[in-house]
């Protein structure tokens, strides 16, 4: 497997693409005017407590207040350690309006919803995740070698004992730590100790609402979170950012430096690797499969639906075999599209109906295997009675479409517009209303070119009948700035 990371940086926007075997797998976008805030820690102020929802709204200094549920509020004992109970306590017993609260953003504001908050704080480094109030050592489930898990736990416990850091808090060993030595883990622990001391001072000194800790910019987070041992190249098209990344690698990931390249080419780096084309495809509804079949993606507020169709694929043997092969190809393709588009929440997949139970099982297994490459947590159910596969994918940031697109002003996000014929009949009804309400001799209709053309051609007989019925003349004028659905009836 050949994996590369491409970083495109401009003053207004940073984009990161993960390319595997020449195919785009993931894309991250951060704009200077709207940076993501997931991972940031704030000193907030509780502005409203909602007992009926077991939740509260917290002002953290953003346009919209953040939302925190009672289950996301840590209850600390005398030692400053979290007490975890099976049931969340009554929200009124742990927070009150006007209270200052140290919170961390776990989900960026999405759509009309404010940021999702928690007081279970955590700060990541290259190899570890630090949890100041949780005396616990954990290991990433993606490290599946039992011997390596035992080695890492032993090394971490040895570091804690040798440096007398028993009171530091909890630590989780990240997937990137696989193969890391004692020196690397100890360096991260010392970094956390310095960092938490600095954050503790800010928490005491600053008044709510205020930011306490801000995560690294996107291109630096990429080096910390996305770089794996089998990475082939990291190409960056900004010399300044390239130098910053090289310095970061020197300090934290020495073996990575030889894989980092500065790309000085005239041709944009995303164009060179076909990433720009893949992004444009990911903004469309339809994705064509190599066999000739295709997928249709429909993203709504409640869920995303994916429809699988055979399209132009006619197969070679029989209908059932054609359907089976299309569904297998679709399962792999849609798993990649979920990552590229960063679709989250509830996802319903309508595979083509399969009669053979073994075919259904194989398609389900193929989808599960394809989703194993996805870092985002997902849950996939078996084929339902209606022949649908239901799944959830954790949503932590806006989808690619929501970042790059806005609602269409022509159709108000319906995805379709009324036909010119429909608008003609709406105009006739409006003319009747106006003619009955007011005494005048003439009416002027302002509409788009396509509507006026239809009124003067296919609907000319209807217009003549209407003039005779209301006893008034009707004139038409093209208004170039009007969309097909816009029109005005003016009394003359």
Q: What is the DSSP annotation of 65-96? A: -EEEEGGGSPPB-TTS-B---SSPPPGGGT--
Percent of the chain beyond pLDDT 90? 43
User: Lowest-pLDDT range, 47-51, 77-81, 160-164, 268-272?
Assistant: 77-81
Contact criterion met (CB below 8 Å) for 442 and 476:
no
The beta strands (E) that lie in 220-339 are given as 231-236, 260-262, 286-288, 294-299, 303-309
How many helices (H) and strands (E) the chain has is answered by: 12, 24
Write down the pLDDT at residue 113.
82
Q: Which fold has domain 3-35+216-276?
A: Nucleotidyltransferase; domain 5 (3.30.420)
Mean pLDDT of the chain: 87
Residue 259 has pLDDT above 70, yes or no: yes
Q: Model-level pTM?
A: 0.76
Write down the pLDDT at residue 34.
73
Give the model's confidence band at 424: pLDDT under 50 very low, under 70 low, under 90 confident, else very high.
Answer: very high
Mean pLDDT of the 277-297 span: 91
Higher pLDDT, 175 or 285: 285
- What class has domain 41-213? mainly beta
- The three-class DSSP label of residue 415 is coil
Q: Give pLDDT tens digits for 323-355.
A: 889 999 999 999 999 999 999 899 999 999 888
Residue 1 has pLDDT above 60, yes or no: no
Specify the CATH number of the domain 420-491.
3.40.1260.20
Contact criterion met (CB below 8 Å) for 215 and 88:
no
Give the model's confidence band at 394: pLDDT under 50 very low, under 70 low, under 90 confident, else very high.
Answer: confident
Write down the pLDDT at residue 318.
76
SS3 content of the chain, % helix, strand, coil (to 5): 35, 25, 35
Write down the pLDDT at residue 159.
83
- What class has domain 285-404? alpha beta
User: Lowest-pLDDT range, 46-55, 308-317, 361-370?
Assistant: 308-317
Q: Give pLDDT tens digits for 205-258.
A: 999 899 999 888 888 888 887 877 678 899 999 999 999 998 888 877 777 888
**Alpha carbon distance 204, 206 (integer Å):** 6
Q: Where are the alpha helices (DSSP H) in 380-419?
A: 400-404
End-to-end alpha carbon distance in the chain:
73
Please report where in the chains the tokens 């077991």 appear, as a residue.
54
Write down the pLDDT at residue 316.
61
Q: Rg of the chain's alpha carbons, rounded to an integer?
A: 29
Q: What is the DSSP annotation of 148-181? A: HHHHHHHHHHHHHHHTT-TTS-EEEE-GGGTT--
Ordered by start, the domain boundaries in the chain are 3-35+216-276, 41-213, 285-404, 420-491
Mean pLDDT of the 260-284 span: 92
Q: Give pLDDT tens digits for 373-393.
A: 888 888 999 888 777 999 999
Please report where in the chains the tokens 């909890």 appear, as a residue.
170
Cα separations in angstroms, 135 against 38, 132, 169, 184, 405: 23, 8, 5, 21, 44
Percent of the chain beyond pLDDT 70? 95
Bridge partner residues of 28 (DSSP)? 16
Write down the pLDDT at residue 313.
63
Cα 32 → chain centroid: 17
Contact criterion met (CB below 8 Å) for 427 and 474:
no
Higher pLDDT, 126 or 156: 156
Residue 320 has pLDDT above 90, yes or no: no
**Alpha carbon distance 345, 348 (integer Å):** 10
Bridge partner residues of 76 (DSSP)? 82
């Amino acid at each position: 497997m050949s994996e590369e990371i491409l970083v495109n940086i401009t003053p207004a926007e940073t984009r990161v693409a993960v390319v595997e075997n020449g195919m785009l797998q993931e894309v991250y976008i951060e704009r200077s005017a709207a940076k993501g805030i997931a991972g940031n820690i704030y000193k907030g102020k509780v502005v409203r407590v909602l007992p009926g929802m077991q939740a509260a709204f917290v002002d953290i200094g953003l346009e919209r207040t953040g939302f925190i549920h009672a289950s996301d509020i840590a209850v600390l004992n005398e030692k400053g350690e979290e007490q975890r109970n099976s049931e969340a306590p009554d929200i009124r017993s742990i927070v009150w309006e006007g209270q200052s609260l140290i919170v961390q953003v776990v989900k960026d504001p999405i759509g009309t919803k404010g940021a999702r908050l928690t007081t279970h704080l955590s700060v990541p480094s290259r190899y570890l995740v630090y949890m100041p109030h949780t005396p616990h050592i954990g290991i990433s489930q993606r490290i599946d070698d039992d011997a390596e898990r035992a080695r890492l736990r032993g090394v971490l416990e040895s570091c804690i004992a040798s440096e007398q850091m028993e009171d530091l808090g909890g630590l989780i060993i990240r997937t990137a730590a696989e193969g890391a030595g004692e020196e690397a883990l100890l360096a991260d622990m010392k970094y956390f100790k310095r960092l938490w001391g600095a954050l503790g001072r800010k928490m005491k000194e600053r008044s709510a609402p205020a930011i306490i800790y801000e995560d690294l910019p996107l291109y630096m987070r990429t080096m910390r979170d996305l770089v794996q041992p089998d990475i082939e190249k990291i190409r960056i098209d900004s010399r300044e950012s390239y130098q910053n990344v090289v310095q970061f690698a020197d300090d934290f990931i020495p073996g990575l430096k030889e894989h980092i390249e500065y790309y000085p080419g005239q041709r944009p780096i995303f164009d060179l690797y076909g990433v720009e084309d893949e992004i444009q495809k990911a903004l469309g509804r339809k994705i064509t499969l190599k066999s000739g079949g295709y997928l249709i993606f429909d993203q709504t507020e409640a869920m995303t639906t994916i429809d699988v169709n055979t399209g132009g694929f006619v197969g070679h043997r029989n209908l059932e075999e054609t359907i089976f092969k299309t569904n297998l190809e679709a399962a792999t393709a849609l798993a990649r599209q979920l990552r590229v588009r960063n679709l989250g929440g509830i996802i319903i997949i309508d595979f083509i109906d399969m009669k053979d139970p073994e075919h259904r099982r194989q398609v389900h297994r193929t989808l599960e295997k394809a989703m194993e490459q996805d870092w985002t947590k997902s849950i996939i159910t078996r084929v339902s009675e209606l022949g649908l596969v239901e799944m959830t994918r954790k949503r932590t940031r806006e989808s690619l479409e929501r970042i790059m697109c806005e609602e269409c002003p022509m159709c108000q996000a319906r995805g379709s517009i009324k036909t010119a014929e429909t608008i003609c009949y709406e105009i006739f009804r409006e003319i009747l209303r106006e003619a009955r309400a007011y005494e005048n001799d003439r009416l002027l209709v302002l509409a788009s070119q396509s509507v006026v053309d239809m009124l003067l051609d296919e609907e000319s007989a209807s217009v003549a009948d209407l003039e005779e019925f209301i006893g008034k003349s009707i004139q038409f004028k093209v208004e170039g700035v009007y969309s097909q659905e816009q029109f005005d009836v003016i009394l003359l």
